[in-house]
């Protein structure tokens, strides 16, 4: 009898975490490494949020809480949805978990049966397919390539839907491409979904606040109110408020689904960290001005990275609407040999050679379901980005 489960055999460890770990190991060994793999802002959690957490500790808010969130935080989440998204939810429609990741996981665990299909536009956040597999469902990736700026078309969505489709996972702005759907583009997808009442929508709005220029964020339940009753609107404080380590994510949707997600959570982690919940409460109710300031900073970095990567030989880098990632295409590098003598047969070989020969750590595209590409996270200082892009340019220029 094997010791490890069949469930475990269905999933693989996160490749983004693997890249970050490898880069950290090389750095510890004394190599000059620039890590562009990690998906988290490079600045500290705002002081008012840290102070709220300290106050919570001093006030003894260190015990178990309600499994899916304290009432004050649920009320603040309802207020956030109304204020920023025009969506009305009651606290009974809200759940709070240990990061956005647990929220999505709870929803899939609570709803997927064997044979249930989950449509995932590719390139996708690495965890979606594996979470669907863990939950016993079948991921159905649909590639939205560079020709549509990494956005799924209504025709593609229509063609992917079957009677077994349970969920459509929507993520805008996207990890790994930064692509953001305009209201018209999202409306067109919603029109397809209206024709298929068996399909639920899981909207992962994690990068809501990181959008650039005139781009306006929008979310399915707001764009098409007729989908409200079968949409789970997911969000969290990790990226917008530089709170990745605090582990607070949340979602709102129909009461029965929210209750079912709470049941899953009650038998796994129970409540998310009590102190972090008070910190998240401050994040959502305290000053919001820094969100716009951060956006400006990230927009400047995006412009820098996009222009420098487009100057690298064999690389094409689209200009994304949001998040803090770019996803350049490296078709022009495939088949060539590096200065170190490695023949680039695919994007994983490219990323490995880039790390070994130049010390720049990026994540290869195959991990996200679209090749040949790589993902750059530009949540790092301008000077570091400039140096990293210069190294990528030199690496590509040396390909023969
Ligand atoms: C698209 C997307 N959704 C969800 C998450 C999970 O966020 P959290 O750190 O809150 O679990 C991430 C984190 O990288 C993400 O990129």
| pLDDT confidence of residue 19 | 78
**Ligand 1: does its nearest atom lie under 6 Å from the Cβ of 249?**
yes
Q: What integer pLDDT is reported at residue 21 of this predicted model? A: 82
| Distance between CA atoms of residues 66 and 97, nearest Å | 11
Three-state DSSP class for residue 35: strand
DSSP class of 163: T
Q: Is 171 in the pocket of ligand 1 (CB under 6 A)?
A: yes
Yes or no: say if 327 and 123 are a contact pair by the CB < 8 Å rule.
yes
| Predicted local distance difference test score (pLDDT) of residue 15 | 75
Residue 74 Cβ < 6 Å to ligand 1: no
Atom of ligand 1 at shortest distance to CA of 248? 10
| Closest ligand 1 atom, residue 237 Cα | 10
Is there an atom of ligand 1 within 6 Å of 204 CB?
A: yes
The two structure tokens encoding residue 330: 């490296």
Give the C-alpha separation, 377 to 363, whole Å.
9
- Identify whether the C-beta of residue 111 lies closer than 8 Å to the C-beta of residue 257: yes
Residue 263 is inside which H or E element, if any? helix 255-266
CA of 325 to the centre of ligand 1 (A): 13
Check the CA dihedral 154-159-165-171 and report its sign. Answer: negative
The Cα–Cα gap between 318 and 333 comes to 17
CATH 3.90.1150.10 maps onto the chain at 6-44+290-397
pLDDT for 279 equals: 98
- Does this model's pTM top 0.95? My answer is yes
CA distance 133 to 105: 11
DSSP classification of residue 167: E
Per-residue confidence in pLDDT tens, the chain, 400 aa? 889 998 888 888 777 777 778 888 888 999 999 999 888 899 999 999 999 999 999 999 999 999 999 999 999 999 999 999 999 999 999 999 999 999 999 999 999 999 999 999 999 999 999 999 999 999 999 999 999 999 999 999 999 999 999 999 999 999 999 999 999 999 999 999 999 999 999 999 999 999 999 999 999 999 999 999 999 999 999 999 999 999 999 999 999 999 999 999 999 999 999 999 999 999 999 999 999 999 999 999 999 999 999 999 999 999 999 999 999 999 999 999 999 999 999 999 999 999 999 999 999 999 999 999 999 999 999 999 999 999 999 999 999 9
pLDDT at residue 146 in the model: 95
CATH top-level class of 63-285:
alpha beta
Give rounded-to-5 percent helix, strand, coil for the chain: 45, 15, 40
Maximal C-alpha separation, the chain: 64
- Ligand 1 mean position, distance from CA 209 (Å): 14
pLDDT of 129 reads 96
Asked if 34 contacts 391 with a C-beta cutoff of 8 angstroms, the reply is yes
CA distance 142 to 369: 9
Structural class in CATH, domain 6-44+290-397 = alpha beta
Give pLDDT, residue 10: 87
Residues carrying CATH 3.40.640.10, the chain: 63-285
Give the Å distances, CA to CA, from 241 to 23, 128, 171, 233, 386: 25, 23, 18, 18, 25
């Amino acid at each position: 009898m094997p010791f490890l489960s069949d469930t475990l055999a269905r999933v693989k460890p996160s490749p983004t975490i693997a890249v970050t770990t490898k880069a950290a190991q090389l750095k510890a060994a004394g190599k000059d490494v620039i890590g562009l793999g990690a998906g988290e802002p490079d600045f500290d959690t705002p002081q008012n949020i840290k102070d709220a957490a300290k106050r919570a500790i001093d006030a003894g808010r260190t015990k178990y809480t309600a499994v899916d969130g304290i009432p004050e935080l649920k009320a603040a989440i309802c207020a956030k949805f109304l204020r920023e998204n025009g969506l009305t939810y009651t606290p009974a429609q809200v759940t709070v978990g240990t990061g956005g990741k647990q929220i999505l996981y709870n929803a899939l665990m609570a709803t997927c049966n064997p044979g249930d299909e989950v449509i995932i536009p590719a390139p996708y956040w690495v965890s979606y397919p594996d979470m669907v597999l863990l939950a016993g469902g079948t991921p159905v990736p649909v590639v939205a390539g560079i020709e549509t700026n990494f956005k799924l078309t209504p025709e593609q969505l229509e063609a992917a839907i079957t009677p077994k489709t349970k969920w459509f996972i929507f993520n805008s702005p996207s990890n790994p491409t930064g692509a953001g759907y305009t209201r018209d583009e999202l409306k067109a997808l919603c029109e397809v979904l209206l024709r298929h009442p068996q399909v639920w929508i899981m909207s992962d709005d994690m990068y809501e606040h990181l959008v650039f220029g005139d781009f306006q964020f929008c979310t399915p339940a707001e764009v098409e109110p007729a989908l409200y009753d079968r949409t789970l609107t997911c969000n969290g404080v990790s990226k917008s408020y530089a709170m990745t380590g605090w582990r607070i994510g949340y979602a709102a949707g129909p009461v029965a689904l929210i209750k079912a997600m709470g049941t899953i959570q009650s038998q796994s982690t129970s409540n998310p960290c009590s102190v972090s919940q008070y910190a998240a409460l401050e994040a959502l109710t305290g000053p919001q001005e820094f969100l716009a300031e951060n956006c400006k900073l990230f927009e400047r970095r995006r412009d820098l990275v996009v222009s420098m990567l487009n100057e690298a030989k064999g690389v094409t880098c689209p200009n994304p609407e949001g998040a803090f990632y770019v996803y350049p295409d490296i078709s022009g590098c495939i088949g060539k040999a590096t200065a170190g003598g490695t023949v680039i047969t695919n994007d994983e070989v490219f990323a490995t050679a880039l790390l070994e020969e130049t010390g720049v750590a990026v994540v290869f595209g195959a991990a996200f379901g679209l090749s040949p590409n790589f993902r750059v996270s530009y949540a790092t200082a301008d000077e570091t980005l400039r140096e990293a892009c210069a190294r990528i340019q030199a690496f590509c220029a040396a390909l023969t």
